Structures are given as C-alpha cells and as structure tokens.
Amino acid sequence: MADRFSGKTVLVTGGAAGLGRAYALAFGREGAHLILADINEDGMIETRALVEGVGGSAECHRVDMSSEADINALAGKVLGGHERLDVLINNAGLHLGEIARGFFGLGQAKWQYFFAVNTIGPMLLAEALRPALAKATGLIINKSSMASYNPATAYGITKASLNVFTHAMALQFGSDGIRCVAIAPGLMETEAARGGVQDDNWERLKGMQMVKRQGTAEDIANLGLFLASDEGSFINNEVILCDGGNQMRGFRI
C-alpha cells in the first residue's frame, strides 16, 4: 500500500457504490482514513469492507443530502471525531431517471429537490465542515458532469449551477487556504450509468470521444488523487473535464 495520504482524512459522499466507492478505494490504498456518507447504508458497509481489504480504514454515516438537518448532523459527527479534514469529495447526487430526461413539466417541488441534492447540498456540507477543512488547508472536490456544458436536462442544469458554485466556493473558502475544484466526468462505465443508458445511445456517446475506450470510475478517482496530492496543490478554482475528449458533451439526449 502506498502512503501518500497516510494520516489524512477524506470524506466521500455517495460512498456506497460507483464513483464514490472508487474514490474510497483509491484513497484507502494510499493510507487515508475514509469517512463514508450515503443514504444507502448497506452499500456503505460493503464499501467499508472493501476499503479495509486494501489496507485502509473507514467509518460510515447515513445522510440524505436533500435535508439540511441531515447535513448538519453529519458535519457535527465529523467535527466531533476529527480535528482535520483533508479532502471533502461532494460525490453524492441524482443522475438517473427523470432528472436526466426531463426539463419541462417537472414542477417546482421536483426542481427544488434536484437542486437541493446536486447543487445546494454540497455547498452546505462544505460550509458546515469549514473548521476542519481550514485546519488541514484542505481540498473540496465537487462532482460536476460533461452534461453541464450542454444543459438540456434538469441534471445538466443542476451541474452547470454546481460549476458556478465551485468558482464561488473557491473564492469564499480561499481565505482559509481551502481549495475548491470540480471534476466533470464523461460517460463512465459504472453499474448505475450502464443501467440508465440504452445500448444504442451508449455507443453513440462513446463514438463522440476522441479516446476510443470507455471511461471508468478509476479514471475519475485517479484524477481526484492527483488533485489532492502535493503535485496538484497549485490547482484551484477549476472545473476539469475527464471525458476522453468528448466532442459534443451530450448526455442521454
């Protein structure tokens, strides 16, 4: 096991599966202690066991990112148990179903829910964890999407808004030495993404890429490792595409 992040603490929301699990395993292999947060408790327990299997350590906390009370409760537990937080990965989000198809006819309640989870929740969690992030001069990584560059769905709109929040957060948190960036994945080979896209559309989207292989969760996790490392420590206030050079940046449309 490498030890670039030995003694450091990394919080991953949406850590029960997919990209969140990939982040947890990547940082766990490098010696970090993982704080996993998700609404899916069984999935988090599985991720914790996998992290421990690669030599890392992890703890699990249930959180609903649409609930400010849940977010504040999670932050209270983290601050109570950890003086420092080196990396916050705001990975949890809604990306399947109506949010990825719909635009008109959603109604105010659905729009508010989508924004609460995908846009406002990450900022509220970072704000609540600011003392521990400041103590570590830490890094916030927001999960954007290539869909933010062609926001033709509610999903794309929430991620385009998160890009703007990322820039504002970099400015506001910068006085404490906290960096804030976003990673905008392309269409990645995860179970959730594969199940949410029809085969013909999957091939169409893959065909738009200049790199002719499908991206993986590990591609995103590796970028996160770099950004959190000493080598990436001068990168701030950026939304970084990791999409194989996708020429159109469409998403499920």
Bridge partners for 88 per DSSP: 11, 140
Domain span at 161: 9-242
DSSP 247: S
In terms of DSSP bridges, do strands 188-189 and 57-62 run parallel, antiparallel, or are they unpaired? unpaired
The confidence score (pLDDT) of residue 187 equals: 81
Q: Active site residue: 23, 113, 149, 155, which one?
A: 155
**149 labelled catalytic:** no
Q: What is the pLDDT of residues 230-245, one digit of tens each?
A: 999 999 999 999 999 9
Q: Quick one: which of 169, 77, 75, 69 has its CA closest to 119? A: 169
| Cβ contacts of 97-102, under 8 Å, gap ≥ 24 | 97/196, 98/154, 99/153, 99/154, 99/155, 99/158, 100/147, 100/153, 100/154, 100/155, 100/196, 100/251, 100/252, 101/153, 101/252, 102/153, 102/154
Residue 172 pLDDT greater than 90, yes or no:
yes
The pair phi, psi for residue 162, each rounded to 5°, is: -65, -35
49-108 tens-digit pLDDT? 999 999 999 999 999 999 999 999 999 999 999 999 999 999 999 998 999 988 899 999
Mean pLDDT, rounded, of the chain = 93
Q: Model pTM?
A: 0.95
For the segment 149-171, what is each residue's pLDDT rounded down to a tens digit? 989 999 999 999 999 999 999 99
110 belongs to a structural domain:
yes
CATH of the domain at 181: 3.40.50.720
DSSP assignment, residue 103? B
Residue 248 lies in a domain: no
Q: Hey, what are 151's tokens?
A: 């926001």
CA distance 240 to 49: 30
Backbone angles phi, psi at 229, to 5 degrees: -85, 170
* CB-CB contact of 137 with 84 (8 Å): no
Q: Give me the pLDDT at residue 27, please.
A: 98
**Assigned domain for 1 exists:** no
Q: In what helix (H) or strand (E) does residue 200 lie, and over which residues does it extend?
A: helix 199-207
- The residue among 249 and 39 whose pLDDT is bigger is 39
Residue whose tokens read 């969140």: 20
The C-alpha atoms of residue 197 and residue 239 are separated, in whole angstroms, by 24
Domain annotation covers residue 186? yes
The one-letter amino acid code at 98 reads E
Residues 245 and 17: their CA atoms lie apart, in Å, by: 25
Side-chain-side CA neighbours of residue 154 (13 Å): 26
CB atoms under 10 Å from CB of 214, counted, come to 17
Number of domains in the chain: 1
